Amino acid sequence: MLRTWSVILYVLGFLSMVVTGVGIVAWAIDVAGVLRTVAGLTIGAPIVMLMATWPLAIGQALRAIADIGDRVGAARGNDSANIIG
């Protein structure tokens, strides 16, 4: 189940990165003045891109937890599909 949520979060993270990139470009075009454009690209864009990468980070953490669970289960001799185990 963790791997399923990991893939869902990876897809959501990728889509949010694409939408964020398009939004940053649209915002930079719409802003009046060179200084506001530079300020938006140097201050606003990194913050927004950092916020857009959260689903990727959480998806990677879920996948790492699932890998740890698989290795611990294999070391104990338990079947990874056995929930009660």
Residue 20 lies in a domain: yes
- Domain holding 46, by residue range, is 2-67
> What number of other Cβ atoms are within 10 A of residue 77's Cβ?
7
CA-CA distance, 19 to 2, in Å (whole number)? 25
CA-CA distance, 84 to 70, in Å (whole number)? 14
Question: What's the predicted TM-score (pTM) here?
Answer: 0.74
Residue 14 lies in a domain: yes
Q: Which two tokens stand for residue 18?
A: 């694409």
> What number of other Cβ atoms are within 10 A of residue 59's Cβ?
22
Q: What is the pLDDT of residues 14-71, one digit of tens each?
A: 999 999 999 999 999 998 899 999 988 899 999 999 999 999 999 999 999 999 988 8
Residue 39 lies in a domain: yes
Counted domains in the chain: 1
CA-CA distance, 58 to 23, in Å (whole number)? 23
Residue 11 lies in a domain: yes
